[in-house]
A and B are shown apart, each in its own frame.
Chain A
Amino acid sequence: MNRILFSKTGMAKYISHLDLMRTMQRALLRAGLEIKHTQGFNPHPHMVFALPLPVGCESCCELMDFELVKDAGEEEIVSGMNRTLPEGIEVISAYVPERKLKEIAKLEMEIIFTFDSGATEEKADRLRELFERNEIVVNKKTKKGFSDINIRELMDKVEISIYNSSKIRLSAVIAAQNPSLNPLLITTAIGNYEPELAPDQVSYNRKEIYDNEMNIFR
């Protein structure tokens, strides 16, 4: 089993999860690294992504597990894949994993809100007030229909600060899986609770992944 740590930034944030799977599969093959396929009637390459990244989010801490037909060294995997991957996707390291992906519990997110009308201390205060509530309910579309969830209980360590004259930065540690919190819902919540504070543009950045004890997960 092999695991890679990779980043997905810039224009590459628009590559969807499904396309990312195809891109990774091709990058491995193009690097001359043959990936093991699943057994069965319709074999497909066996790859597991730790936490699928929503389209539009950037990240510097993505993990993918896979198995190769023939073993390859760390350097061979990293340089081989980086030679063939598109701009914006970069393999940072490759290693044999010691921990299971299901041990991932939390994520550090950075969200930057852009306001065409400018970022003011007053706006930042109102946002801080909003996230001091114990309950922030958002209607979320699920496979079974719509359901209300309290996003506040999936968020921890919320910090809000002025980033520059037009941007406000929100950083938070959010639940990563079972259940996870889609960071886009944080923006939805702002629009619902404080329509005047609905930002004109938002960028999302996944900064770090942790286990349940807040140790960095690799």
Chain B
Amino acid sequence: MRKIGLPLYALESKDPVKDFDIVAFSLGYEMAYTSVINMLDLAGIPLHREDREGLKNLVIAGGTCTYNSEPLCDFVDLFSIGEGEDALCELAELYGKAKAGGWSKREFLRKAADIDGIYVPEFYDISYNEDGTVRAITPIDGVRPVVTKRIVQDFEHSYFPEKTIIPSTEIVHDRVVLELFRGCIRGCRFCQAGYVYRPVRRRSSDVLAEHAINALKDSGYEEMTLSSLSTSDYKELNVLCDKLLDYCEPRKISLSLPSLRADNFSFELMERVQRVRKSGLTFAPEAGSQRLRDAINKNVREEDLFNTCRIAFEGGWNAVKLYFMLGLPTETDEDVKAIADLANQVVYIWKKHAKNKSRGVRITVSTSFFVPKFLTPIQWEAQNAMSEYKRKVQLLADTMKNRAVTYNWHDPETSYIEAVLARGDRRIGKVLEEVVKNGSGLQAWSEYFSFDLWMESFKACGIDPDFYAARERSKDEVLPWDMISAGVRKDYLWRERETAYRGEITPDCRKQCTGCGANLIYKGGRCDE
């Protein structure tokens, strides 16, 4: 596109991106940051927010990773923190007013900073200590000191996209996605989504069935997936599936249920929904030993997993994938070796219970390199060094001798960069720019990811990546994202951290409320009703 001077254009209308009033990015995770800069450049839009005068080409962004917006603050005018359904409408309305009234950009931004859930970095000054940590975050021009994320208060009656743009070519998620509920009752301590999507709010099965049928009719899709952080925790799952299957089965529409847990997994449900293939099951115990699973509050018991595997093997399944993380806080070599034990036990269960052993069994163990994320109880933690991760991978590979078990591990380089960006501050912006300038913007794409390019860019900008990835923060350190609140209080997160170090679990929200604070932003509602 650069070679022939073709500016970035909108996929549907083919209009140049530069002609749009507002350019919005929805960001899935940190490695997409460089793409934002690259796309602005391809569109011919000035990269730095202070270089864009006037209201034209307002650049906005949102998505879970932007709860720490700081690495992108040089480039993005404002961030939508939390759920956008209401905030974006209010923002668009304000923008219309500003345009009609001939407001300056600063006037508009100042008013936008008063909309709940809108964070405008221009109005927050950051000062640093000599050791490089943040000294203070100073709100200017009278903006509120903390931006609390926006949530949809009445999820049951909130907007659901029944009419969507129907692609003419195959896309990712090429199906109807039915969102059952937001938030998660579980509280796994490593899981950012589990904390930032609180409180739990659901739609009733009647409303969902109606949305689903309308969306299927409008789109012509022959596939639908149920979406949430933990599908099997949806209270009316069986009722909902009955309603959906009544419509889907005669029309040959297939239904998929991702995110099922090993402890309350229903085979009856699986059998009914997945009529076609009986191949693989995937579970994520995350850690090998019960001690470590307790520390991260992944409340899956070994017995639950074994029980589920036994039923699966008896029912004819012959492949199980198990996902783990290496480098979790408090992890010892014993915990690493326990992953191999767990896999061996699953093989043993297959030998004992499989109906048909002629086809053999395939157990796949995958490990990824743990990235501590902000707004979780692990946000103060140092990431393992890459060499330490590699040592643990080797240790596990040496321990895993069973021929029925295949062991895959992810390379740690991307996870290391991700860890730097996740807990980065405003000084990271120039590194992102350097990476795009000297290489490719597509750093989330393994084919284009270049670790050397990142390390050279850190060096060129005088930034030590270990300061962000491999440093343990103290309790009273000002964190770069302290002006953002997801509703869960910081002292609750610290308490959860201490509970983790004691190896104790915290009950799920359905058993007992542990007072995280997210219910306070849910005006008049009760979590998980």
Q: Chain A residues in contact with chain B, CB under 8 A?
A: 11-12, 15-16, 18-19, 22-23, 25-30, 32, 34, 37, 41-43, 45, 84, 86
Contact = CB atoms under 8 A, between A and B. Distances in A.
B29 interface: no
A87 B135 CA distance: 56
Contacts of B276: 41-42
Q: Is the interface of B mostly helix, strand, loop or mixed?
A: loop
Interface in B105-135: none
Q: Is the interface of A mostly helix, strand, loop or mixed?
A: helix
B161 to A, nearest CB: 15
Given A11-B14, A42-B276, A45-B252, 9 more contacts: A12-B168, A15-B168, A27-B220, A28-B220, A29-B222, A30-B219, A30-B220, A41-B276, A84-B166
B220 A16 contact: no
Given A15-B169, A19-B168, A29 B252 contact: no
B166 A26 contact: yes
Contact of B222 (A16, A19, A23, A25): A25
B252 A43 contact: yes
Contact of B166 (A30, A43, A45): A30
A26 B170 contact: no
Contact of B220 (A11, A25, A42): A25
Interface of B: 14, 166, 168-170, 217-222, 251-252, 276
B217 A30 contact: yes
A72 to B, nearest CB: 15
Contacts of A86: 166, 168
A74 B110 CA distance: 58
Contacts of A37: 252
A84 B222 CA distance: 16
A19 B220 contact: no
10 contacts: A15-B168, A15-B169, A16-B169, A19-B168, A26-B220, A29-B217, A30-B220, A34-B251, A45-B222, A84-B166
A75 B169 CA distance: 27
Nearest to B251: A34
A34 B276 CA distance: 21
A86 B168 CA distance: 7
Given A29-B220, A30-B220, A19 B251 contact: no
A15 B171 CA distance: 13
B219 A23 contact: no
Nearest to A32: B217
